[in-house]
Amino acid sequence: MPGDNPAPSEQTARVPPYELQWGERELVDVDGVGIHTELAGPVGSGPAIVALHGFCSGTFTWAGLGPLLSPRRRLVAWDRPPFGRSDRPPGRPGPDDVYGLPAELRRLGALVDRLVGDAPVVFLGHSAGSLLALQVALAGTVPVAGLVLIAPVLAGGPPQPVRTLSRLPGAGAVGAHAVRVGVLGAAEALRRGTRHPSPLTDAVADETGRVLRRPGTAAALWHLTCTWERPDVVAHLGDVDVPAVVIGGANDRIVSPAQHRAVADGLGAPLHLLPDAGHTPHAQRPEAVADLVEGFVADLGAR
């Protein structure tokens, strides 16, 4: 009967025609926290590429790059708590906070030791993952051979009204609930914010919304809002003494081309702005980004 089946376009939207798994998955324990990892590519093929996803994302964001890079390069990624398929333990203020930078650096070091071993490491960071890659390079806790920064966000954070709300008495009683309601529209918000959608970006939006609805995410996000401190990285870009490259989308609605240029200039690094791409060029233009990453890693080997 008419109306019994959705139109083809609706079927496509509900069942994304893209497989987001690109490597072998394993849940590993780091300091009592289960970390979902994904790995692909030959071991001992030169530098290993360690991919750090952005805020609210996960290893699925690399589904476009994984099949293009892994035939020649070892690609390693994990879901940074409280995102993806990793655990979401309760946060607590102070130096032992599982979501604080010291804990994240310790976790990163342990994962690199376990998953990469003695191979040189090139960090591939997207958005807030670029911030972590730079923090690792500045901290010197892990030897870094090179940095590939995609649409780097270095000074973001919760909106000021939300930060103000988090400091009010009793805010904790409603904060996590408000976040829980807000993430219900995450997938659609990502679609609206993408100027150049594709089957891959649509599938990534769906998966982002799905993992944000996992139990414990809202409480952890509210905790991050309440404990957020502005990172001190931008003023220290000149102290990063490893080769780097910056890749951005010419139509990025979150990071402007001028901001991309400022990061590249601060690092003394080349900048590649890709047309027909926004804040996720690795999903919108995966072939172009893979070529740039491969060229950068090959150049490191030539050096």
Q: Answer whether residue 6 shows pLDDT above 50.
A: no
Q: Answer whether residue 214 shows pLDDT above 80.
A: yes
Q: Answer whether residue 189 shows pLDDT above 90.
A: no
Which residue type is seen at 6? P
Q: Which residues pair with 272 in a beta bridge?
A: 247
Q: Answer whether residue 116 shows pLDDT above 70.
A: yes
Render 28-95 in DSSP notation, one character per residue.
EEETTEEEEEEEES-TTSSSEEEEE--TT--GGGGTTTHHHHTTTS-EEEEPPTTSTTS--PPP-SST
Query: 10 Å Cβ neighbour count for 193?
Result: 14
Give the mean pLDDT of 184-192: 84
Q: Answer whether residue 77 shows pLDDT above 50.
A: yes
What is the reported pTM? 0.90
Give the mean pLDDT of 187-200: 85
Rounded CA separation 254/262 (Å) = 15
**Structural contact between residues 209 and 186, judged by C-beta atoms closer than 8 angstroms:** yes
pLDDT on residue 125: 98
Give the mean pLDDT of 160-174: 69
Q: Answer whether residue 296 shows pLDDT above 70.
A: yes
- Report percent pLDDT > 90 for the chain: 70
pLDDT on residue 175: 80
Which residue type is seen at 135? Q
pLDDT band of 162, cuts 50, 70, 90: low
Give the mean pLDDT of 57-76: 96
pLDDT on residue 60: 97
Reading the block at residue 18, the tokens are 């893209």
pLDDT band of 94, cuts 50, 70, 90: confident
pLDDT band of 192, cuts 50, 70, 90: confident
Which of 135, 120, 154, 151 shows the shortest CA–CA distance to 50? 120
pLDDT band of 138, cuts 50, 70, 90: very high
How high does pLDDT run on average in the chain? 89
Report the run of H or E that residue 264 belongs to, with start and end: helix 257-267
Query: 10 Å Cβ neighbour count for 231?
Result: 17
**Domain parsing of the chain, residue ranges:** 19-156+230-302
pLDDT band of 165, cuts 50, 70, 90: low
Q: Answer whether residue 9 shows pLDDT above 60.
A: no
pLDDT band of 186, cuts 50, 70, 90: confident
Give the mean pLDDT of 23-33: 96
State the CATH architecture for 19-156+230-302: 3-Layer(aba) Sandwich (3.40)
Q: Answer whether residue 173 shows pLDDT above 60.
A: yes
**Structural contact between residues 272 and 282, judged by C-beta atoms closer than 8 angstroms:** no
Reading the block at residue 28, the tokens are 């590993």
226-271: pLDDT as tens digits: 888 889 899 999 999 999 999 999 999 999 999 999 999 999 999 9
pLDDT band of 15, cuts 50, 70, 90: very low
pLDDT band of 196, cuts 50, 70, 90: confident
Give the mean pLDDT of 7-22: 54
